Structure formats: C-alpha cells, structure tokens
Amino acid sequence: MKVNWRGVLPAITTPFMEDGSIDYTFFAQHCQWMIEAGCVGLVPIGSLGESATLSFEEKRELLKVAVQAVGERVPVIPGIAALSTAEAVRLAQAAEEVGCSGLMVLPPYVYSTDWREMKAHVDAVIRATKLPVMLYNNPPAYKTDFLPEQIAELASEHANLEAVKESSSDVRRVTALRALLGDRLNILVGVDDCIVEGIQAGAVGWIAGLVNAFPVESVALFRMAQEVREGRGDRARLDALYAWFLPLLRLDTVTKFVQLIKLTQEMVGMGSARVRPPRLEVVGDELETARRIISHALEQRTQLPL
C-alpha cells in the first residue's frame, strides 16, 4: 500500500490489562476508531506506544493486529527502535512480513554518538526492507540530532526515504529541510503543541499524541491549519480551536507524556491510564493538575468551532 504522509497519523498507545499484559482486543478497536475519525495512517510501537517495555514477540503481535484491524484502508507504519542495529533490522523485517506499509526509523536506544555511527545504524535499517521510510528525529528524547544536512545526505542515498518526523520542537528545522530538499521529503511534525506553526512553515503531516483521546478535534485542527496556510481558511476558527487544544497538546511535551495522554484517554472513555513500569501512573498534585486541565477542556468541548 502506498503511504499517504499528508494528514494526521496517531502515534498510537499500547493498552494494558490489569495484569500488565497487552489488551489486543481494545488495541484493534482503538486502531479502527482512529481511522474512522479521518486519520490517514497508524504509527504503533513508537515512544508513545511504550516500545522500550515491549518484547519482540509483543511488538510483532501488535503489528499483526493493527494490520488486520485496518485492512487496506490506511497504512501501518511502526516505530523501529532497539538497543542494537541487528535487533532493529530484525524488527523492520518482521514489520514487512506481517504486512506493514512503511517504517518509522529511530536512532538506537541508549547509545548516542557521532554522525558516522548513527548514519550506519539507520542505513542498515533502511536497507533491510523495500518499505517506504520515515526518519524520526527527536534529539531531546534520544540524544541524537539528525541535522538538516545529514537528512539531505540520507535522502540522496535512499530512494525509499520518503519522510522525516521532526520532533526537535524547532519549526526552523522545517524551513531548513524545505530549503535544502524542496518537496523531496514529506515533513511531519512530531510535537503536538507546535503543529499549527509547523504547518505554516511547510510541514504536511502530523504524528500526533493527543489524537488518541481527541481524534475528531485533531483532524479538524490539522485541516484548518492547512486551509489557512493555503489562503482559503478561517483564521479565527483555527485560533479558537488551537487555543482550546493547546493546554492538552502541551501534555505531549513533558517527561510523563505517556502517562498523561493515557490518563486523557481514560477520562474521555477511550482507554485506560495503565502503563508499564518503570513508568507509573501519575498521582497526587500531578494527577490533580492534569485532571483539571482535561476536565476544563471537556467542559468547553461542545462549544468548539469544528
């Protein structure tokens, strides 16, 4: 299946049962809910999917369930991350075997070093399959920063490198990539609270987090931002929706973003706040603050200009 990078692609969460096992039934339902709301693809087993706490077998099963749940409607583009290059290559090949349509390739967990070694890692993963690839640049989380010039170098060497998920939180990176590459790569925003700014700078897609709880609102926000950039949208409506959404979107930008997004899912009735250790659910003042933000947004939800 050809990957459509232009739209909202959920970095989909991994649901857990009370005993810590994966709730595959709910995961399938959640995948379907996302695409019924207008999302153009799914990105499972990424950072928000708690990939680092999943076994290889669990990752493979999640990908099988996602592919079966969505059929030919949208592509499944899993996060490919591991401690070693060999494990990342194995996961990329498994993803292709179970029917995924693309890959989101990350630098290795834990080990971060110079461009020569990091390039060798992503080179190996990109070459492991024929699937379209999106490079994931998230220097705050992974301590590896793929600079625009380095991304351009990869793009010149790999025809199947089609996109980059830019999560540096610096929208100037979008501008720099477009200046170097034009339309050679699809640029997607990976930080929720700069999506409108990213689209204005030229990004064409959004790997979103809060979409797991607010898919309709996420798709509407993306569409409005695109329309405004193209000169045919209503800026006042976009500003009103963004102002409502921003306190929620900022939950995606902190260390406990997984816990907070899953809490939001639980409060809207679409999921559980359960996470896998070493993560723990938020408690005390942290929990009350998050609940106030989410509750206030829910109170205002019926007034949104969708």
- State the binding site for pyruvate: 207
Active-site annotation holder among 64, 136, 142, 262: 136
Residue 221 in tokens? 């926000």
Q: How far apart are CA 207 and CA 229, in angstroms?
A: 19
The pairing of beta strand 186-189 with beta strand 8-10: unpaired
Q: Which residues pair with 208 in a beta bridge?
A: 10
Residue 245 in tokens? 């959404």
Burial (CB count within 10 angstroms: exposed 0-12, middle 13-18, buried 19+), residue 149: exposed
Active-site annotation holder among 59, 64, 165, 262: 165
Nearest to 44 by CA among 88, 11, 21: 11
Cβ atoms of 102 and 134 within 8 Å: the answer is: yes
Q: Which residues are annotated as a binding site?
A: 207
Active site residue 143: no
Active site residue 242: no
> Residue 236: CB partners within 8 Å, gap ≥ 6?
none
DSSP assignment string, 123-143? HHHHHT-SS-EEEEE-HHHHS
Active-site residue set: 136, 165
